[in-house]
Amino acid sequence: MIKPDRITTTTCPYCGVGCTLQLHVKDDFIYKVTSPFDSPVNHGNLCVKGRFGYDFIYHPKRVTTPLVRRYLLEGKTIFDIRPSADELRVSNFELSNTGSPWDWVETDWDTALNFTADNLVRIYKRDGSDALAVYCCAKATNEDNYLLQKMYRALFRTNNVDHCTRLCHAGSVVALQQAVGSSAMSNTASQVMLNDVFIVTGSNTSENHPIIALQMKEAVMKNKARMIVVDPRRIDLVDMAELWLQLKPGTNVPVFSAMAHVIVKENLVNWDFVNSRTEGFNEYLESLEKFTPEYAEELSGVPAEDIRKAARLYAGAKNGAIYWGMGISQLSHGTASALALIHLAFLTGHIGRDGTGLNPLRGQNNVQGASDMGAMPFHYPGYMRVDEPENRAKWEKAWNVEDGGLSLKLGLTTTEILSHAHEGGVRALFIMGENPMMSEPNLNETRKHMQQLEFLVAQDIFINESGAFADVFLPATPFAEKDGTFSNTDRRVQRVRMAHPPRGQARPDWQIICDLALRIEARLGLPTAKWTYANPEEILREMGSVNSDYAGITYKRIDEVGLIYPVPTLDHPGTPTLFTEDFPRGRGKFHSLDYVPVREEADDEYPFILTTGRLLEHWHGGTMTRNSALNETYPEARVEIHPADAEIHGIRHGDAVKVQSRRGEIIVRATITEKTSVGVVFLPWHFAEAAANLLTNDALDPQALIPEFKACAVQVFPARESDLPNPENVVARGRY
């Protein structure tokens, strides 16, 4: 039995649950992960990723030395060279020494950072603030994200700052901001144990948030809570649900509005709550009139009587709550979908008390924290609008920027940054830990935009599909080689601790950013905005000096179990339940809604609707899990097809099939299963060799600017076994 040198307590780097991990370390190597039973988040439970998905740290393909393209060493730019046929055969994922200007060359930190600073400053001086943009990272710490958005705002005076929240819960964020004035979960996931009725919708919770799913199951089995699942797929939780509303993808608004229609018509409304805490009800009521259960059945396929049962069950609850995922937000009407849920809580008063609430389950480990830190184009840290002069003045003072120096111009979103990559638009992009060449919709278009960039910096742990386009690669550290904080889906701020030193020359993100910012600041001749910190806690305290939600958080206070913000003072205990007396905007606001179908419905040419999502064994673009032994448990992409559809199209379980949309095609194996519904196929998005986002639609929600990942029209054909892709031969061709 191995005896560890030390056991380091930290926070899981995968989903938004934020489980507590104990890393058992021997000779600077993590050999086992456990979890303490007294953790308030996960009570000793871990999913397969949390318990076993740490070995990517030691993968031989991990980059631990700064890299630059050879042409930079030769004093050239991207536009000075063109690839030859021979160079096309050189993999951008591997170090090579062909003498090609496209070769990656290992270098030292000074060289890599000087090239980065020189080129960013060159483009900024030539083309101005609008020519630069940055992707922050939901996998990085609060401190990392705060510094990166600070660097771009304080030094380059641009709000072209965003991260993957634009691609997951942007619809939820916009809806919650409009309706209540705050975009975070109103309660905590563990409060499901106080629910007597709860709705789970647009969330395959057992695979996306497994520990929360365990709590949901316990609430049903132990406390006799009644669960309503609303989802196109027969997810695991359906087996324990009181009701399953199997709706057609993209019909959330009519189904939830029909539930609201029943609540109003049967006088199940909590009138005290509606009259004392909301506004806009009468106008909303007019828009609700057409959403009868029969109308919703016609659009969604959900039986009208099931809609009535669900409405009565939720409205009659003592403590009702709603938990939702990206099946609500990743639509061209994602904002309206989330508003339809919010209206249910307003009508019944199921918000502002323990065991109730509106609870969007955040996907990545720190997507909540990155948003809190201002990694968005419209907000400084603390969700302070960038176009309001009083907010600008606060951050100018904090960052030692001259009066009026920060920009009041709203920045570009993630989905806009790359579409603006052209002459006269975005010329330089900095990507920290994100992978747009896997996460953006319609990847063939994304590739074209990436090729139009003049200068690209990747700061990551592996050269992934996006890093293959980079001019400079800055090797960062994963969660186990850094200190800082993550903020989970509950708004709980927790410690991240270094278990062993960084591998090779890799450095924590916050140190890289500070070193780079000092070089940029010197080249621009700006007064210092403070880029020297003794430790990450100093960074968090700087942010909290302006953002009152974090004002009372110190590392000492969160050392054991974390604190749930808002924590406005150093003696404040935290705020597990929001909106107990009022909403940040005052009264909650009802909004009139209409039904808008998905942008691309099934037809004779493309008879299936494709929906996408995650698997238990993998994580997003696969940068971590596909460089882990977890990849062996689910090594290839598979498309789920209903047996009735498979029979019509002559497809058997395990057959190779071509899945084709109007934008692209992939070859995968088929899984024949009743988990999906007739006319709907499902693809995971983790596999570069069969990237689901080659197919997806880049239609955007007009308010949240989130793409419609959850619904597009496809055809499925039988294919040859020899057509199946070999993951080992897949090369992201970078600028080629």
3-state secondary structure 512-580: HHHHHHHHHHHHHCCCCCCCCCCCHHHHHHHHHCCCHHHCCCCCCCCCCCCEECCCCCCCCCCCCCCCC
pLDDT in tens, 238-248: 999 999 999 99
Does residue 727 sit in helix, strand or coil?
Answer: helix
Radius of gyration of the chain (CA): 25
pLDDT at site 101: 83
pLDDT at site 1: 81
39: burial class by Cβ within 10 Å (0-12, 13-18, 19+)?
buried
- Answer yes or no: is pLDDT of 82 > 80: no
| pTM exceeds 0.85 | yes
Contacts of 706 (CB under 8 A, 6+ apart): 166, 167, 168, 170, 171, 329, 330, 331, 334, 415, 700
The answer, yes or no, to whether the previous bond of 232 is cis (omega within 30 of 0) is no
Q: Rounded CA gap, 416 and 547, in Å?
A: 27
Contacts of 60 (CB under 8 A, 6+ apart): none
| Residues listed for the chain | 736
Q: How many CB atoms lie within 10 A of CB 221?
A: 10
Decide: 142 and 484 in contact? Cβ < 8 Å.
yes
Domains and CATH numbers, the chain: 6-52 (2.20.25.90), 104-167+366-482+492-564 (3.40.50.740), 170-361 (3.40.228.10), 608-729 (2.40.40.20)
Q: What is the DSSP string of 273-312?
A: HHHHHEE-HHHHHHHHTT--HHHHHHHH---HHHHHHHHH
The pair phi, psi for residue 221, each rounded to 5°, is -75, -40
The pair phi, psi for residue 481, each rounded to 5°, is -120, 30
Q: Rounded CA gap, 260 and 343, in Å?
A: 7
The pair phi, psi for residue 292, each rounded to 5°, is -75, 160
Q: pLDDT above 70 covers what percent of the chain?
A: 97
- Answer yes or no: is pLDDT of 91 > 90: no
- What rounded mean pLDDT belongs to the chain? 93
Q: What angle do CA 105, 686, 16 make, to 5 degrees?
A: 100
Closest CA to 199 of 216, 183, 215: 216
- Answer yes or no: is pLDDT of 505 > 50: yes
Decide: 200 and 228 in contact? Cβ < 8 Å.
yes
Q: Rounded CA gap, 92 and 731, in Å?
A: 7
415: burial class by Cβ within 10 Å (0-12, 13-18, 19+)?
buried
Decide: 153 and 529 in contact? Cβ < 8 Å.
no
Closest CA to 611 of 685, 686, 711: 711
Contacts of 415 (CB under 8 A, 6+ apart): 166, 167, 440, 698, 700, 705, 706, 707
Amino acid at 473: F
Q: What is the largest CA-CA distance in the chain?
A: 77
- Answer yes or no: is pLDDT of 734 > 50: no
Does residue 19 sit in helix, strand or coil?
Answer: coil
Q: Which pLDDT band holds residue 183 (cuts at 50, 70, 90)?
A: confident
The pair phi, psi for residue 65, each rounded to 5°, is -135, 140
pLDDT at site 731: 40
Q: Rounded CA gap, 283 and 265, in Å?
A: 16
Q: Measured between alpha carbons, how far is residue 439 from residues 293, 335, 650, 691, 692 in Å? A: 36, 20, 32, 9, 9
Strands 320-324 and 680-684: unpaired
Amino acid at 106: E
CA 193 to chain centre: 26
The DSSP element (H or E) to which 700 belongs, if any, is strand 697-700
The b/e string for 541-572 (b: 16+ C-beta within 10 A; e otherwise) is ebbbebbebbbbbebebbeebbbbbbbeeeee
For 294, the token pair is 């029969």
Q: What is the DSSP string of 106-118?
A: E--HHHHHHHHHH
Q: Which pLDDT band holds residue 78 (cuts at 50, 70, 90)?
A: confident
Mean pLDDT across the stretch 495-501?
98
- Answer yes or no: is pLDDT of 726 > 80: no
Does residue 322 sit in helix, strand or coil?
Answer: strand
pLDDT at site 259: 98
Does residue 721 sit in helix, strand or coil?
Answer: helix
β-pair partners for 275: none
pLDDT at site 89: 40
pLDDT at site 94: 66
- Answer yes or no: is pLDDT of 729 > 60: no
Helices of type H across 407-488 = 414-417, 436-439, 443-451
Mean pLDDT across the stretch 188-197?
96
Q: Measured between alpha carbons, how far is residue 153 from residues 4, 231, 379 in Å? A: 44, 41, 11
Contacts of 466 (CB under 8 A, 6+ apart): 431, 434, 435, 436, 437, 438, 450, 458, 732
Q: Rounded CA gap, 458 and 618, in Å?
A: 22
Q: Measured between alpha carbons, how far is residue 384 from residues 390, 459, 547 in Å? A: 9, 27, 9
Mean pLDDT across the stretch 351-375?
94
pLDDT at site 728: 58
Q: How many CB atoms lie within 10 A of CB 480?
A: 21
pLDDT in tens, 429-485: 999 999 999 998 899 999 999 999 999 999 999 999 999 999 999 999 999 999 999
pLDDT in tens, 553-591: 999 999 989 999 999 999 999 999 999 999 999 999 999
Quickly tell me which residue has 């790359």 as its tokens. Answer: 418
Q: Which pLDDT band holds residue 166 (cuts at 50, 70, 90)?
A: confident
Q: Measured between alpha carbons, how far is residue 355 from residues 230, 368, 492, 513, 581 in Å? A: 20, 21, 17, 41, 15
Decide: 467 and 434 in contact? Cβ < 8 Å.
no
Q: Where are the beta strands (DSSP E) in 392-537?
A: 428-432, 455-460, 472-475, 484-487, 492-496
pLDDT at site 165: 81
Q: Which pLDDT band holds residue 90 (cuts at 50, 70, 90)?
A: very low
Q: Where are the beta strands (DSSP E) in 337-389?
A: 357-360, 379-380, 384-385
pLDDT at site 169: 83
pLDDT in tens, 280-295: 999 999 999 999 999 9
pLDDT at site 581: 94
pLDDT at site 736: 30
Quickly tell me which residue has 């930079």 as its tokens. Answer: 72
Decide: 377 and 413 in contact? Cβ < 8 Å.
yes
